[in-house]
Amino acid sequence: MTSLQNDTLIRALLRQPTEYTPVWLMRQAGRYLPEYNQTRRGAGSFLALCKSPALATEVTLQPLDRFGLDAAILFSDILTIPDAMGLGLYFAEGEGPKFERPLRDAAAIRKLAAPDPLGELRYVIDAVSEIRRALAGRVPLIGFAGSPYTLACYMVEGGASDDFRNIKALLYGEPALLHRILEVNAQAVAAYLNAQIEAGAQAVMIFDTWGGNLAHDAYRRFSLDYIQRVLADLRREHDGERVPSIVFTKGGGLWLEAIAACGCDCVGIDWTLDLAEARRRVGARVALQGNLDPAVLLSSVDAVRRETARVLAEFGAGPGHVFNLGHGISQFTPPEHVRELVQEVHEQSRKYHL
Amino acid sequence: MTSLQNDTLIRALLRQPTEYTPVWLMRQAGRYLPEYNQTRRGAGSFLALCKSPALATEVTLQPLDRFGLDAAILFSDILTIPDAMGLGLYFAEGEGPKFERPLRDAAAIRKLAAPDPLGELRYVIDAVSEIRRALAGRVPLIGFAGSPYTLACYMVEGGASDDFRNIKALLYGEPALLHRILEVNAQAVAAYLNAQIEAGAQAVMIFDTWGGNLAHDAYRRFSLDYIQRVLADLRREHDGERVPSIVFTKGGGLWLEAIAACGCDCVGIDWTLDLAEARRRVGARVALQGNLDPAVLLSSVDAVRRETARVLAEFGAGPGHVFNLGHGISQFTPPEHVRELVQEVHEQSRKYHL
């Protein structure tokens, strides 16, 4: 494999010194980019785009060609795993992801099995290999998966939800059934991420988008414990290089200490938590990734500069900060605001790395 | 005015000793009750129900007649204020509240004025008087309003939102315009709550449903500061009795110390925070209200008992706890689970009040 020309992200994730703060953006390849929309129209649908390694490679590289980002992230979707389990993923226009066969009864839950990442999910692993080749060492490639609990939310609800009442009814009323789903999901996520690492992912991220909807004790038992199992099963090295891991529970700021102790190298933080306070709370245990409110990118160049400077100042001096948003970038973001953001991070952060 | 036969809630809010932990539920008069649905059908619409003091009184009392709750809460909606400001509130079936004329331009924002609570909002104040008479001292009546920021979210977005991009663009790009809205809202909320207190509300609650979507520093400047202004303008006594205040920012657990210092008597807590930890963090400054996950009520009688016992044990011994959910009750709740909850709180809590 080619060695990295820019390994700033990897060093920051491992809390090693860097010359500046590396930056990438969740959902950086996406609908705010005209070239993405063009490729997507050509592909016919979002799923077709995910399922074509060539097109996934094309859109993964688009934001790198525009902005000087310090990482690429695999273009895919967290719901590829439940789709490969046979739940029938589809996207209803304007409604987000849905499953044709949500998991609602004990029989279906008992039949659930982890998919072979080199079987039904081969298209994702092929995309990782192809993106890695296309990157040719420019920046590291981040692989990713949803957390076992977040996948379970979609699998049980059958799509996004504003009250999560089906999975919560299971959690409180039939916890053993939910634990069964989570065990299978944890196996599936670990195997999937390991296959991504073997295919060339140089860091991995677990997205726990919905863990923040849980009660404090339920979060530990139904989300964090299973993230911990995934991490325990992950390859930590590939080709002689450390493969750092990032865990992001949206809305998990109250549980930061517990997340920082789960075995990850870096914790993703949303904008509700001050990075200075986060740093005090985790000490030297983990790096931190975040945490600009993505809505800042909707306002003005001045606001982008001011709020970027604020986030950098909150983290302060020293290694261990990966600049990112606190959630995926909005489709309404003007691309020139992203350019401004990346430039500001690269320029303004140098004084914190002397 | 009649003196209270059951003043447990008021004493708990003021951190005075009680014999048991008082309990009421956010949105306790609502769609999970068949008698509510019947009255609503008769009224024709949710807004017609809110606007009739007689019907608002009828539905306010319905849950008290069924369950031994320790408080009544005015049946109304937080959006009565922006409706009275002329924004044109309506409810699209299955879509939640909307405004015909959302606040999007500087001219409309400059024209905004606080409504006279005895003018356009007279129907709410009349409902307070009528409910208070109908209660005849059984339990205290809680009045309420939305927080200035939460009202602004609806006013600017024109309804509920999953990204709040219009108000956030204003916040980051044109903060002076948002401050103008928030100043008017703070005046309006203070006048509205004072009129409710004069009409007979014996405690008041400020619902900051959307404050949790703000970045940590923005929360203080755009939500908490204006809640503090409202509280500073509130009558703290009426008819020789203290009128305690409750502030609830959903998703505000990270900011608990700041909220507890804003001038309220009690802080509402959602289920993401352990009440034992919350109590350590606020000490003797305020009472705490919460914090059962409303989804517990969807599962089973056993789960209701177990999780109710857990919440009581987390708060532990001593005064200053008002049992509630961490969010409004779900329309899918079986009423018999509410009966079980209220009974369990009353029975199981006695050992913490010896």
Matching residue, tokens 């011994």: B317
DSSP for A291-312 reads EE-GGGGGT-HHHHHHHHHHHH
Matching residue, tokens 């979210």: B153
Query: In this predicted structure, what is the pLDDT of residue A93?
Result: 76
Q: Which of A149, A154, A219, A226 is catalytic?
A: A154
Looking at beta carbons, which residues of chain B come within 8 Å of A172?
Answer: 293, 295-296, 298-300, 303, 307
How many CA atoms, within 13 angstroms, populate the side-chain half-sphere of residue A308? 27
Mean pLDDT calculated for residue range A273-296 = 97
Report chain B (354 residues): mean pLDDT per 10 consecutive residues.
87 98 98 97 94 98 97 97 96 86 94 97 98 98 98 96 93 97 98 98 98 97 98 96 98 98 98 97 97 96 98 97 97 98 98 95
How far is the C-alpha of B88 from the C-alpha of A51, rounded, in Å? 46
What single letter denotes the amino acid at residue B95?
E
Looking at beta carbons, which residues of chain A come within 8 Å of B215?
Answer: 271-272, 293, 326
Nearest to A274 among B172, B216, B299 (CB): B216
Of the candidates B211, B300, B303, B302, the one whose C-alpha atom is nearest the C-alpha of residue B262 is B211
Q: Does A91 touch chain B (CB under 8 A)?
A: no
Query: In this predicted structure, what is the pLDDT of residue B3?
Result: 82
Q: Do B298 and A168 touch (CB under 8 A)?
A: yes
How many CA atoms, within 13 angstroms, populate the side-chain half-sphere of residue A320? 21
The pair of structure tokens assigned to B79 is 């959006």
B281 is catalytic: no
What is the predicted ipTM?
A: 0.94
Of the candidates A93, A82, A90, the one whose C-alpha atom is nearest the C-alpha of residue A47 is A90
Q: Does A315 touch chain B (CB under 8 A)?
A: no
DSSP for B189-229 reads HHHHHHHHHHHT-SEEEEEETTGGGS-HHHIIIIIIHHHHH
How many CA atoms, within 13 angstroms, populate the side-chain half-sphere of residue B195? 21
Burial class (CB in 10 A: 0-12, 13-18, 19+), A44: exposed
Mean pLDDT calculated for residue range A275-298 = 97
Q: Do B272 and A254 touch (CB under 8 A)?
A: yes
Instruction: State the Rg of chain A over Cα.
Output: 19
Q: Count A/B contacts: CB-CB distance under 8 Å.
A: 100
Of the candidates B195, B193, B202, the one whose C-alpha atom is nearest the C-alpha of residue B240 is B202
Q: Do A215 and B169 touch (CB under 8 A)?
A: no
Q: Do B295 and A214 touch (CB under 8 A)?
A: no
Sign (positive or negative) of CA dihedral B55, B56, B61, B63: positive
- Asked if omega into A291 is within 30° of 0 (cis), the reply is yes
How far is the C-alpha of A83 from the C-alpha of A100, rounded, in Å? 10
CA of A337 vs chain B CAs: smallest distance (Å): 13
What Å distances lie between residue A59 and A56, A81, A92, A133, B52, CA to CA? 5, 21, 22, 14, 56
pLDDT digit string (tens) for A165-212? Answer: 999 999 999 999 999 999 999 999 999 999 999 999 999 999 999 999
Q: Which of B11, B20, B36, B40 is catalytic?
A: B40
Query: In this predicted structure, what is the pLDDT of residue A255?
Result: 98
CA of B299 vs chain A CAs: smallest distance (Å): 5
Matching residue, tokens 């309003």: B145
Q: Which long-range contacts (CB under 8 A, 24 or more apart) does A160-165 make?
A: A160/A96, A160/A97, A163/B295, A163/B330, A164/A210, A164/A213, A164/B295, A165/B295, A165/B298, A165/B330, A165/B332
CA of B310 vs chain A CAs: smallest distance (Å): 10
Query: In this predicted structure, what is the pLDDT of residue B92?
Result: 81
Query: In this predicted structure, what is the pLDDT of residue A92?
Result: 81
CA of A307 vs chain B CAs: smallest distance (Å): 9
How far is the C-alpha of A255 from the C-alpha of A212, rounded, in Å? 9
Mean pLDDT calculated for residue range A76-97 = 92
Of the candidates A292, A244, A283, A246, the one whose C-alpha atom is nearest the C-alpha of residue A266 is A246
CA of A112 vs chain B CAs: smallest distance (Å): 23
Q: Does B38 touch chain A (CB under 8 A)?
A: no
Of the candidates A277, A287, A316, A336, the one whose C-alpha atom is nearest the C-alpha of residue A10 is A287
What single letter denotes the amino acid at residue B41?
R
Nearest to A298 among B169, B273, B330 (CB): B169
Query: In this predicted structure, what is the pLDDT of residue B96?
Result: 87
How far is the C-alpha of A296 from the C-alpha of A323, rounded, in Å? 14
How far is the C-alpha of B173 from the C-alpha of A297, rounded, in Å? 10
Bridge-based pairing state of the strands B89-92 and A266-268: unpaired
Q: Does B258 touch chain A (CB under 8 A)?
A: no
Tell me the three state secondary structure of residue A256. helix
- Provide the chain B residues 148-177 that lie in CB contact (below 8 A) with chain A: 163-165, 168-169, 171-173
Query: In this predicted structure, what is the pLDDT of residue A2?
Result: 54
Q: Which of B7, B11, B20, B27 is catalytic?
A: B27
Looking at beta carbons, which residues of chain A come within 8 Å of B271?
Answer: 214-216
Matching residue, tokens 């004084």: A351
